[in-house]
Amino acid sequence: MSDWVEACAAGDIDEEDVMRFDHAGRTYAIYRSPDDEYFATDGLCSHEKVHLADGLVMDDTIECPKHNGRFNYKTGDARGAPVCVNLKTYPVKVDAGKVLIQVG
Amino acid sequence: MTGGMVIIGAGECGGRAALALRDLGYEGPVTLVGDEPHLPYERPPLSKEAMTGEAPLIKAIASDELLAERSIRHIHSVRAVAIDRAGHAVSLSDSSSLSYDKLLLATGSLPRKLPMPGLGGRCVYLRTFNDALAIRAHLKPENRVAIIGGGFIGLELAASARKLGATVTVIEAQPRILMRGVPAEIAEIIHKAHEAEGVNVLTGQGITAIADDGAEVRITLAGGQEVVADLAVIGIGAVPVTALAADAGLAIDNGIAVDGTLRTEDPDIFAAGDCCSFPLAVYGGRRVRLEAWRNAQEQGALAATNMLGANEAHAAVPWFWSDQYGLTLQIAGLSDEGRSIVRRDLDDGAFILFHLAEDGRLVAASGIGPGNAVARDIRLAEMLIAKRATPAPDALGSQTVKLKSLLAA
Protein backbone atom coordinates (compact mmCIF):
# COMPACT_ATOMS: atom_id res chain seq x y z
CA MET A 1 0.00 0.00 0.00
CA SER A 2 1.25 3.47 -0.81
CA ASP A 3 1.19 6.16 1.76
CA TRP A 4 0.00 9.74 1.68
CA VAL A 5 2.89 12.04 2.37
CA GLU A 6 2.73 15.71 3.30
CA ALA A 7 4.59 17.66 0.62
CA CYS A 8 4.04 21.31 1.53
CA ALA A 9 1.51 23.86 2.62
CA ALA A 10 -1.10 24.76 0.02
CA GLY A 11 0.11 28.36 0.04
CA ASP A 12 3.73 27.41 -0.65
CA ILE A 13 3.04 27.16 -4.37
CA ASP A 14 1.73 30.11 -6.38
CA GLU A 15 -1.14 29.56 -8.77
CA GLU A 16 0.12 28.32 -12.14
CA ASP A 17 3.44 27.30 -10.64
CA VAL A 18 5.44 24.28 -9.55
CA MET A 19 7.57 23.18 -6.62
CA ARG A 20 10.10 20.41 -6.11
CA PHE A 21 9.46 17.83 -3.41
CA ASP A 22 11.99 15.16 -2.43
CA HIS A 23 10.93 12.11 -0.47
CA ALA A 24 12.55 8.75 0.29
CA GLY A 25 15.22 9.11 -2.34
CA ARG A 26 12.86 10.23 -5.08
CA THR A 27 12.04 13.62 -6.46
CA TYR A 28 8.61 14.88 -7.42
CA ALA A 29 7.12 18.02 -8.90
CA ILE A 30 3.97 19.42 -7.31
CA TYR A 31 1.83 21.79 -9.37
CA ARG A 32 -0.88 24.28 -8.57
CA SER A 33 -3.04 24.94 -11.63
CA PRO A 34 -4.57 28.31 -12.59
CA ASP A 35 -7.86 26.83 -11.28
CA ASP A 36 -6.31 26.23 -7.87
CA GLU A 37 -6.09 22.47 -8.18
CA TYR A 38 -3.00 20.49 -7.18
CA PHE A 39 -1.19 17.80 -9.17
CA ALA A 40 2.01 15.79 -8.85
CA THR A 41 4.35 14.09 -11.29
CA ASP A 42 7.80 12.58 -11.27
CA GLY A 43 10.25 15.39 -10.68
CA LEU A 44 12.64 14.72 -13.54
CA CYS A 45 12.10 15.27 -17.24
CA SER A 46 11.97 12.02 -19.20
CA HIS A 47 14.41 13.47 -21.78
CA GLU A 48 17.54 14.28 -19.78
CA LYS A 49 16.66 13.91 -16.11
CA VAL A 50 16.39 17.61 -15.37
CA HIS A 51 14.32 18.94 -12.45
CA LEU A 52 11.02 20.07 -13.88
CA ALA A 53 10.40 22.35 -10.91
CA ASP A 54 12.82 24.85 -12.51
CA GLY A 55 10.56 24.96 -15.54
CA LEU A 56 7.65 27.12 -16.53
CA VAL A 57 3.99 26.28 -15.90
CA MET A 58 1.52 27.65 -18.43
CA ASP A 59 -2.10 26.51 -18.06
CA ASP A 60 -1.91 22.71 -17.79
CA THR A 61 1.60 22.43 -19.26
CA ILE A 62 4.96 22.14 -17.58
CA GLU A 63 7.92 22.93 -19.79
CA CYS A 64 11.33 21.48 -18.99
CA PRO A 65 13.87 24.25 -18.24
CA LYS A 66 16.61 22.56 -20.22
CA HIS A 67 15.31 21.76 -23.67
CA ASN A 68 11.67 22.85 -23.57
CA GLY A 69 10.15 19.37 -23.52
CA ARG A 70 6.47 19.82 -22.64
CA PHE A 71 4.13 17.70 -20.59
CA ASN A 72 0.54 17.94 -19.47
CA TYR A 73 1.15 17.83 -15.72
CA LYS A 74 -2.43 16.73 -15.04
CA THR A 75 -2.09 13.55 -17.12
CA GLY A 76 1.69 13.23 -17.50
CA ASP A 77 1.34 13.12 -21.30
CA ALA A 78 4.42 14.17 -23.32
CA ARG A 79 3.53 16.87 -25.82
CA GLY A 80 6.03 16.30 -28.60
CA ALA A 81 9.74 16.53 -29.38
CA PRO A 82 12.14 16.23 -27.71
CA VAL A 83 10.09 14.32 -25.14
CA CYS A 84 8.31 11.14 -26.04
CA VAL A 85 8.08 9.31 -22.70
CA ASN A 86 5.17 10.33 -20.46
CA LEU A 87 5.64 11.38 -16.85
CA LYS A 88 4.25 9.26 -14.06
CA THR A 89 1.59 11.11 -12.09
CA TYR A 90 0.60 10.72 -8.44
CA PRO A 91 -2.69 11.32 -6.64
CA VAL A 92 -2.81 14.59 -4.67
CA LYS A 93 -5.19 15.92 -2.06
CA VAL A 94 -5.35 19.02 0.07
CA ASP A 95 -6.23 18.47 3.69
CA ALA A 96 -6.32 21.21 6.33
CA GLY A 97 -4.13 23.48 4.22
CA LYS A 98 -1.56 20.77 3.53
CA VAL A 99 -0.78 19.26 0.16
CA LEU A 100 -0.50 15.47 0.38
CA ILE A 101 0.70 13.15 -2.35
CA GLN A 102 0.34 9.41 -2.59
CA VAL A 103 3.83 8.22 -3.41
CA GLY A 104 5.06 4.85 -4.62
CA MET B 1 3.77 5.30 -58.49
CA THR B 2 4.51 7.86 -55.87
CA GLY B 3 7.98 8.67 -54.57
CA GLY B 4 6.59 10.12 -51.39
CA MET B 5 8.66 12.24 -49.06
CA VAL B 6 12.44 12.16 -49.27
CA ILE B 7 14.59 13.82 -46.64
CA ILE B 8 18.29 14.40 -47.29
CA GLY B 9 20.17 14.64 -44.01
CA ALA B 10 19.41 12.41 -41.04
CA GLY B 11 20.36 14.74 -38.21
CA GLU B 12 18.12 16.48 -35.69
CA CYS B 13 16.19 18.30 -38.38
CA GLY B 14 15.75 15.45 -40.84
CA GLY B 15 14.98 12.95 -38.12
CA ARG B 16 12.33 15.19 -36.58
CA ALA B 17 10.82 15.92 -39.97
CA ALA B 18 10.44 12.21 -40.72
CA LEU B 19 8.70 11.58 -37.40
CA ALA B 20 6.54 14.66 -37.84
CA LEU B 21 5.30 13.46 -41.24
CA ARG B 22 3.93 10.35 -39.52
CA ASP B 23 2.61 12.34 -36.55
CA LEU B 24 0.67 14.40 -39.07
CA GLY B 25 -0.91 11.29 -40.52
CA TYR B 26 1.00 10.98 -43.79
CA GLU B 27 0.82 7.39 -45.02
CA GLY B 28 2.98 7.40 -48.15
CA PRO B 29 6.67 6.48 -48.29
CA VAL B 30 9.08 8.42 -46.06
CA THR B 31 12.79 8.01 -46.80
CA LEU B 32 15.52 9.51 -44.69
CA VAL B 33 19.01 9.60 -46.21
CA GLY B 34 22.07 10.24 -44.07
CA ASP B 35 25.80 10.08 -44.76
CA GLU B 36 26.68 8.90 -41.26
CA PRO B 37 26.49 5.23 -40.22
CA HIS B 38 24.33 6.02 -37.18
CA LEU B 39 20.68 6.44 -36.40
CA PRO B 40 19.56 10.08 -36.30
CA TYR B 41 21.03 11.46 -33.08
CA GLU B 42 21.24 14.61 -30.98
CA ARG B 43 24.45 16.59 -31.48
CA PRO B 44 24.48 18.85 -28.38
CA PRO B 45 25.90 16.08 -26.14
CA LEU B 46 28.92 15.56 -28.44
CA SER B 47 30.97 18.30 -26.76
CA LYS B 48 29.71 17.40 -23.28
CA GLU B 49 28.29 14.04 -22.13
CA ALA B 50 29.82 12.13 -25.06
CA MET B 51 33.21 13.33 -23.78
CA THR B 52 32.73 13.08 -20.03
CA GLY B 53 30.23 10.23 -19.67
CA GLU B 54 31.47 6.84 -18.55
CA ALA B 55 30.88 5.50 -22.02
CA PRO B 56 30.42 7.67 -25.12
CA LEU B 57 26.75 6.97 -25.75
CA ILE B 58 24.93 8.14 -28.82
CA LYS B 59 21.64 9.86 -28.02
CA ALA B 60 19.40 8.61 -30.81
CA ILE B 61 16.34 10.58 -31.84
CA ALA B 62 14.67 7.40 -33.00
CA SER B 63 15.55 3.75 -32.48
CA ASP B 64 15.54 1.18 -35.28
CA GLU B 65 12.35 -0.18 -33.76
CA LEU B 66 10.64 3.22 -33.82
CA LEU B 67 11.70 3.85 -37.41
CA ALA B 68 10.35 0.44 -38.40
CA GLU B 69 7.13 0.97 -36.47
CA ARG B 70 6.61 4.34 -38.19
CA SER B 71 7.56 2.89 -41.60
CA ILE B 72 10.41 5.33 -42.03
CA ARG B 73 13.09 4.00 -44.35
CA HIS B 74 16.51 5.11 -43.11
CA ILE B 75 19.31 4.84 -45.67
CA HIS B 76 22.61 5.40 -43.87
CA SER B 77 26.24 5.95 -44.92
CA VAL B 78 25.08 7.36 -48.25
CA ARG B 79 25.26 10.88 -49.69
CA ALA B 80 22.88 12.53 -52.10
CA VAL B 81 24.90 13.59 -55.12
CA ALA B 82 22.43 15.28 -57.46
CA ILE B 83 18.83 16.41 -57.70
CA ASP B 84 16.94 15.99 -60.95
CA ARG B 85 14.26 18.60 -60.40
CA ALA B 86 12.40 17.96 -63.63
CA GLY B 87 12.36 14.23 -63.02
CA HIS B 88 11.64 14.57 -59.28
CA ALA B 89 14.52 12.26 -58.36
CA VAL B 90 17.65 12.32 -56.23
CA SER B 91 20.68 10.25 -57.10
CA LEU B 92 22.75 8.82 -54.28
CA SER B 93 26.41 7.99 -53.82
CA ASP B 94 25.67 4.24 -53.95
CA SER B 95 24.49 4.78 -57.56
CA SER B 96 20.85 4.28 -56.65
CA SER B 97 18.19 6.91 -57.07
CA LEU B 98 15.05 7.91 -55.22
CA SER B 99 12.02 9.56 -56.72
CA TYR B 100 10.13 12.10 -54.63
CA ASP B 101 6.91 14.03 -54.50
CA LYS B 102 8.41 16.49 -52.01
CA LEU B 103 12.05 16.78 -51.06
CA LEU B 104 13.45 18.20 -47.84
CA LEU B 105 17.07 19.29 -47.70
CA ALA B 106 18.24 19.03 -44.11
CA THR B 107 21.89 18.84 -44.99
CA GLY B 108 23.10 20.77 -41.96
CA SER B 109 26.44 22.49 -41.65
CA LEU B 110 30.07 21.45 -41.45
CA PRO B 111 32.90 22.92 -39.39
CA ARG B 112 34.56 25.92 -41.02
CA LYS B 113 38.05 24.86 -42.05
CA LEU B 114 41.01 26.76 -40.75
CA PRO B 115 42.59 28.09 -43.94
CA MET B 116 46.20 27.46 -43.00
CA PRO B 117 48.95 25.12 -44.11
CA GLY B 118 50.53 22.73 -41.64
CA LEU B 119 47.43 20.99 -40.34
CA GLY B 120 47.76 17.24 -39.90
CA GLY B 121 46.26 14.29 -38.07
CA ARG B 122 46.42 15.99 -34.68
CA CYS B 123 44.31 18.93 -35.88
CA VAL B 124 40.67 17.94 -35.75
CA TYR B 125 37.12 19.27 -35.91
CA LEU B 126 33.97 18.25 -34.04
CA ARG B 127 30.75 17.64 -35.88
CA THR B 128 29.85 13.96 -35.75
CA PHE B 129 29.72 11.23 -33.15
CA ASN B 130 32.77 9.65 -34.77
CA ASP B 131 34.63 12.97 -34.46
CA ALA B 132 33.66 12.97 -30.79
CA LEU B 133 35.03 9.45 -30.28
CA ALA B 134 38.34 10.45 -31.84
CA ILE B 135 38.65 13.54 -29.63
CA ARG B 136 37.56 11.72 -26.50
CA ALA B 137 40.48 9.30 -26.83
CA HIS B 138 42.87 12.23 -26.31
CA LEU B 139 41.18 13.82 -23.30
CA LYS B 140 43.26 12.50 -20.44
CA PRO B 141 45.40 14.00 -17.69
CA GLU B 142 48.75 13.59 -19.40
CA ASN B 143 47.61 15.33 -22.59
CA ARG B 144 47.70 18.96 -23.70
CA VAL B 145 44.74 20.12 -25.73
CA ALA B 146 44.64 23.35 -27.73
CA ILE B 147 41.24 24.67 -28.65
CA ILE B 148 41.33 27.03 -31.62
CA GLY B 149 38.32 29.30 -31.41
CA GLY B 150 36.52 30.61 -28.33
CA GLY B 151 33.00 29.83 -29.48
CA PHE B 152 30.48 27.47 -27.94
CA ILE B 153 31.85 24.20 -29.26
CA GLY B 154 35.39 25.08 -28.30
CA LEU B 155 34.46 26.29 -24.83
CA GLU B 156 32.20 23.34 -24.06
CA LEU B 157 34.96 21.05 -25.20
CA ALA B 158 37.47 22.95 -23.06
CA ALA B 159 35.23 22.39 -20.04
CA SER B 160 34.93 18.67 -20.82
CA ALA B 161 38.68 18.34 -21.36
CA ARG B 162 39.37 20.00 -18.01
CA LYS B 163 36.91 17.69 -16.30
CA LEU B 164 38.94 14.78 -17.66
CA GLY B 165 42.16 16.35 -16.39
CA ALA B 166 43.79 17.49 -19.64
CA THR B 167 45.84 20.68 -19.85
CA VAL B 168 43.79 23.08 -21.94
CA THR B 169 44.60 26.25 -23.86
CA VAL B 170 41.90 28.20 -25.71
CA ILE B 171 43.13 30.45 -28.52
CA GLU B 172 40.76 33.14 -29.77
CA ALA B 173 41.72 35.66 -32.44
CA GLN B 174 39.02 38.17 -31.42
CA PRO B 175 39.52 40.49 -28.45
CA ARG B 176 37.20 38.33 -26.35
CA ILE B 177 35.52 34.93 -26.41
CA LEU B 178 31.96 34.51 -27.73
CA MET B 179 32.07 37.69 -29.82
CA ARG B 180 29.16 36.57 -31.93
CA GLY B 181 25.80 36.89 -30.22
CA VAL B 182 26.83 36.92 -26.57
CA PRO B 183 27.03 40.17 -24.56
CA ALA B 184 30.47 41.05 -23.18
CA GLU B 185 29.22 40.93 -19.57
CA ILE B 186 28.22 37.30 -19.94
CA ALA B 187 31.26 36.31 -21.98
CA GLU B 188 33.43 37.66 -19.17
CA ILE B 189 31.77 35.39 -16.62
CA ILE B 190 32.38 32.40 -18.84
CA HIS B 191 35.97 33.51 -19.44
CA LYS B 192 36.57 33.73 -15.68
CA ALA B 193 34.93 30.36 -15.07
CA HIS B 194 37.35 28.76 -17.51
CA GLU B 195 40.33 30.45 -15.88
CA ALA B 196 39.14 29.38 -12.45
CA GLU B 197 39.00 25.80 -13.73
CA GLY B 198 42.57 26.07 -14.97
CA VAL B 199 42.08 26.76 -18.67
CA ASN B 200 44.62 29.08 -20.25
CA VAL B 201 42.43 31.45 -22.27
CA LEU B 202 44.33 33.53 -24.82
CA THR B 203 42.23 36.21 -26.52
CA GLY B 204 43.23 38.62 -29.26
CA GLN B 205 45.78 36.08 -30.42
CA GLY B 206 45.98 35.42 -34.13
CA ILE B 207 47.74 32.29 -35.29
CA THR B 208 50.65 32.76 -37.68
CA ALA B 209 51.75 29.17 -38.13
CA ILE B 210 50.82 25.60 -37.32
CA ALA B 211 53.14 22.62 -37.52
CA ASP B 212 51.60 19.19 -36.96
CA ASP B 213 53.98 16.23 -37.18
CA GLY B 214 51.27 13.70 -36.42
CA ALA B 215 52.29 13.36 -32.78
CA GLU B 216 52.33 16.97 -31.64
CA VAL B 217 51.01 20.30 -32.85
CA ARG B 218 53.04 23.51 -32.51
CA ILE B 219 50.92 26.62 -32.83
CA THR B 220 52.72 29.95 -33.23
CA LEU B 221 50.78 33.03 -32.18
CA ALA B 222 51.12 36.52 -33.65
CA GLY B 223 52.84 37.74 -30.49
CA GLY B 224 55.51 35.07 -30.89
CA GLN B 225 54.22 32.75 -28.18
CA GLU B 226 54.12 29.05 -29.02
CA VAL B 227 51.44 26.64 -27.81
CA VAL B 228 52.36 22.97 -28.01
CA ALA B 229 49.59 20.40 -27.82
CA ASP B 230 48.94 16.71 -28.29
CA LEU B 231 45.66 17.60 -29.96
CA ALA B 232 44.29 20.79 -31.53
CA VAL B 233 40.55 21.04 -31.91
CA ILE B 234 39.41 23.71 -34.33
CA GLY B 235 36.04 25.30 -33.59
CA ILE B 236 35.81 28.47 -35.66
CA GLY B 237 32.24 28.29 -36.83
CA ALA B 238 30.23 26.29 -39.30
CA VAL B 239 29.31 26.61 -42.95
CA PRO B 240 26.01 25.46 -44.42
CA VAL B 241 26.04 22.43 -46.71
CA THR B 242 24.59 23.86 -49.91
CA ALA B 243 26.39 22.23 -52.85
CA LEU B 244 23.56 19.81 -53.63
CA ALA B 245 21.05 22.67 -53.78
CA ALA B 246 23.39 24.99 -55.66
CA ASP B 247 24.14 22.33 -58.28
CA ALA B 248 20.40 21.94 -58.76
CA GLY B 249 20.15 25.65 -59.53
CA LEU B 250 18.49 26.67 -56.27
CA ALA B 251 19.30 30.08 -54.82
CA ILE B 252 21.95 30.26 -52.11
CA ASP B 253 22.11 33.23 -49.75
CA ASN B 254 24.22 32.34 -46.72
CA GLY B 255 22.51 28.96 -46.89
CA ILE B 256 19.84 27.47 -49.09
CA ALA B 257 17.42 30.37 -49.50
CA VAL B 258 13.87 29.57 -48.46
CA ASP B 259 10.75 31.64 -47.78
CA GLY B 260 8.96 31.81 -44.45
CA THR B 261 7.32 28.45 -45.14
CA LEU B 262 10.77 26.87 -45.75
CA ARG B 263 10.12 26.35 -49.47
CA THR B 264 12.89 26.99 -51.96
CA GLU B 265 11.95 28.58 -55.27
CA ASP B 266 11.06 25.04 -56.39
CA PRO B 267 7.67 24.40 -54.76
CA ASP B 268 8.49 20.71 -54.28
CA ILE B 269 11.82 21.30 -52.52
CA PHE B 270 12.11 22.52 -48.96
CA ALA B 271 15.13 23.24 -46.78
CA ALA B 272 15.34 23.43 -42.99
CA GLY B 273 17.80 23.65 -40.12
CA ASP B 274 21.44 24.73 -40.23
CA CYS B 275 21.62 24.56 -44.03
CA CYS B 276 19.00 27.20 -44.84
CA SER B 277 18.55 30.94 -44.54
CA PHE B 278 15.03 32.19 -43.96
CA PRO B 279 13.16 35.40 -43.13
CA LEU B 280 12.63 35.77 -39.41
CA ALA B 281 9.17 37.26 -38.96
CA VAL B 282 9.74 38.58 -35.47
CA TYR B 283 12.49 40.90 -36.79
CA GLY B 284 10.59 42.20 -39.80
CA GLY B 285 11.70 39.43 -42.12
CA ARG B 286 15.43 39.81 -41.52
CA ARG B 287 17.11 36.89 -43.30
CA VAL B 288 19.05 34.69 -40.91
CA ARG B 289 20.59 31.27 -40.71
CA LEU B 290 20.55 29.56 -37.32
CA GLU B 291 22.84 26.83 -36.08
CA ALA B 292 20.79 25.68 -33.15
CA TRP B 293 19.27 22.47 -31.94
CA ARG B 294 15.80 23.77 -31.26
CA ASN B 295 15.64 25.57 -34.59
CA ALA B 296 16.54 22.33 -36.36
CA GLN B 297 13.74 20.60 -34.51
CA GLU B 298 11.14 23.28 -35.09
CA GLN B 299 11.99 23.74 -38.73
CA GLY B 300 12.00 19.99 -39.33
CA ALA B 301 8.47 19.82 -37.97
CA LEU B 302 7.36 22.92 -39.88
CA ALA B 303 8.81 21.63 -43.14
CA ALA B 304 6.89 18.37 -42.65
CA THR B 305 3.68 20.32 -42.13
CA ASN B 306 4.20 22.35 -45.28
CA MET B 307 5.36 19.38 -47.38
CA LEU B 308 1.89 17.99 -46.70
CA GLY B 309 0.28 21.06 -48.24
CA ALA B 310 0.02 23.55 -45.41
CA ASN B 311 1.34 27.07 -45.76
CA GLU B 312 2.50 27.90 -42.26
CA ALA B 313 5.22 30.48 -41.76
CA HIS B 314 8.08 30.07 -39.33
CA ALA B 315 7.23 32.25 -36.35
CA ALA B 316 9.60 31.06 -33.63
CA VAL B 317 12.05 33.19 -31.68
CA PRO B 318 15.64 31.91 -31.89
CA TRP B 319 16.80 30.22 -28.71
CA PHE B 320 19.88 28.33 -27.66
CA TRP B 321 21.80 27.28 -24.61
CA SER B 322 25.29 26.28 -23.59
CA ASP B 323 26.46 24.32 -20.54
CA GLN B 324 29.98 24.81 -19.21
CA TYR B 325 31.02 23.53 -15.78
CA GLY B 326 28.00 24.26 -13.58
CA LEU B 327 26.94 27.28 -15.59
CA THR B 328 24.15 27.44 -18.12
CA LEU B 329 23.78 30.25 -20.59
CA GLN B 330 20.51 30.73 -22.42
CA ILE B 331 19.78 33.32 -25.08
CA ALA B 332 16.41 34.04 -26.66
CA GLY B 333 16.18 36.38 -29.64
CA LEU B 334 18.97 38.14 -31.51
CA SER B 335 20.82 40.47 -29.17
CA ASP B 336 22.29 42.52 -32.02
CA GLU B 337 18.78 43.90 -32.60
CA GLY B 338 19.02 45.69 -29.27
CA ARG B 339 20.24 49.22 -28.57
CA SER B 340 20.06 49.26 -24.77
CA ILE B 341 20.29 46.71 -21.99
CA VAL B 342 18.37 46.28 -18.74
CA ARG B 343 19.79 43.89 -16.17
CA ARG B 344 17.70 41.73 -13.85
CA ASP B 345 19.48 39.95 -11.02
CA LEU B 346 18.18 36.57 -9.90
CA ASP B 347 19.14 34.31 -7.01
CA ASP B 348 22.55 32.60 -6.77
CA GLY B 349 24.41 35.18 -8.86
CA ALA B 350 22.33 34.46 -11.93
CA PHE B 351 21.21 37.38 -14.06
CA ILE B 352 19.46 38.21 -17.29
CA LEU B 353 20.22 41.02 -19.71
CA PHE B 354 17.18 42.26 -21.60
CA HIS B 355 17.99 43.81 -24.95
CA LEU B 356 15.63 46.58 -26.02
CA ALA B 357 15.29 48.14 -29.47
CA GLU B 358 15.19 51.91 -29.91
CA ASP B 359 11.38 51.88 -29.78
CA GLY B 360 11.41 49.98 -26.48
CA ARG B 361 10.53 46.62 -27.95
CA LEU B 362 12.10 43.63 -26.21
CA VAL B 363 14.20 41.91 -28.89
CA ALA B 364 16.42 39.52 -26.94
CA ALA B 365 17.29 38.22 -23.49
CA SER B 366 20.63 36.73 -22.46
CA GLY B 367 20.92 34.92 -19.16
CA ILE B 368 23.58 33.08 -17.23
CA GLY B 369 23.63 31.31 -13.91
CA PRO B 370 24.15 28.03 -12.11
CA GLY B 371 22.04 25.09 -13.22
CA ASN B 372 18.70 26.11 -14.64
CA ALA B 373 18.46 29.38 -12.72
CA VAL B 374 17.67 31.53 -15.76
CA ALA B 375 15.52 29.06 -17.70
CA ARG B 376 12.07 30.11 -16.63
CA ASP B 377 12.60 33.83 -17.09
CA ILE B 378 14.34 33.34 -20.44
CA ARG B 379 11.33 31.31 -21.58
CA LEU B 380 8.99 34.08 -20.50
CA ALA B 381 11.21 36.63 -22.22
CA GLU B 382 10.98 34.56 -25.37
CA MET B 383 7.19 34.81 -25.22
CA LEU B 384 7.40 38.56 -24.69
CA ILE B 385 9.73 38.84 -27.70
CA ALA B 386 7.30 36.79 -29.81
CA LYS B 387 4.50 39.15 -28.76
CA ARG B 388 6.67 42.13 -29.79
CA ALA B 389 6.04 43.48 -26.29
CA THR B 390 7.43 46.78 -25.04
CA PRO B 391 7.67 46.08 -21.29
CA ALA B 392 8.65 48.91 -18.94
CA PRO B 393 12.42 48.77 -18.34
CA ASP B 394 11.86 49.25 -14.59
CA ALA B 395 9.64 46.18 -14.46
CA LEU B 396 12.16 44.10 -16.40
CA GLY B 397 14.90 45.14 -14.03
CA SER B 398 13.03 44.46 -10.81
CA GLN B 399 13.15 40.97 -9.38
CA THR B 400 9.96 41.66 -7.49
CA VAL B 401 7.94 42.08 -10.68
CA LYS B 402 7.08 38.66 -12.08
CA LEU B 403 7.80 38.40 -15.79
CA LYS B 404 4.65 36.34 -16.17
CA SER B 405 2.64 39.36 -15.11
CA LEU B 406 4.14 41.33 -18.01
CA LEU B 407 2.92 38.73 -20.48
CA ALA B 408 -0.68 39.37 -19.55
CA ALA B 409 -0.27 43.12 -20.02
pLDDT of B83-123, one tens digit each? 999 999 999 999 999 999 999 999 999 999 999 999 999 99
- Does pLDDT of A1 surpass 80? no
Task: Assess whether pLDDT exceeds 70 at residue A7.
Answer: yes
Mean pLDDT of A45-73: 91
Smallest CA–CA distance, residue B45 to chain A, in Å, is 11
**Residue range A13-33: mean pLDDT, rounded:** 95
Give A87's DSSP letter.
P
Fold of A4-102: Rieske Iron-sulfur Protein (2.102.10)
| Residues of chain B predicted below pLDDT 70 | 1
Rounded (10°) angle between helices B184-196 and B152-163 = 20
Domains B113-234 and B326-408 share a fold: no
CA distance A64 to chain B (A): 9
Q: Partners of B102 in the beta sheet?
A: B5
Q: B113: alpha, beta or left, given left = phi > 0 and alpha = psi -120 to 50?
A: beta
Q: Hey, is B24 helix, strand or coil?
A: coil
DSSP B60: B
> What residues of B are in the A interface, CB distance below 8 Å?
16, 19-20, 23, 42, 61, 293-294, 297, 301, 319, 321, 371-373, 375-376, 379-380, 404
Chain A residue at shortest CA distance from B15: A81
Instruction: Report the distance separating Cα B69 and Cα B59, nearest Å.
Output: 19
Q: Does the beta-carbon distance from B375 to A55 stay under 8 Å? A: yes
Superfamily of domain B326-408: FAD/NAD-linked reductase, C-terminal dimerisation domain (3.30.390.30)
Q: Which fold has domain B5-110+238-307?
A: FAD/NAD(P)-binding domain (3.50.50)
Return the pLDDT at A84: 80
What is d(CA B29, CA B34) in angstroms, rounded to the nearest whole number? 16
d(CA B319, CA B367): 11
Nearest residue of A to residue B292, measured between CA atoms: A67
Mean pLDDT of chain A: 92
Residues of A in contact with B42 (CB under 8 A): 82
> Where exactly are the structural domains of chain B?
5-110+238-307, 113-234, 326-408
> What pLDDT is attached to residue A67?
87
A42 pairs with which residues across the strands? A28
Domain B113-234: state its class: alpha beta
pLDDT-based confidence at residue A46 (cuts at 50, 70, 90)? confident
Q: Could you tell me the pTM of the whole model?
A: 0.93
Residue in A17, A48, A68, A70 to test binding to B, most B beta-carbons within 10 Å: A68
What residue spans define the domains of chain A? 4-102
Q: What is the mean pLDDT of residues A33-61?
A: 93
Question: What was the pLDDT predicted at A82?
Answer: 80
A47 pLDDT above the threshold of 60: yes
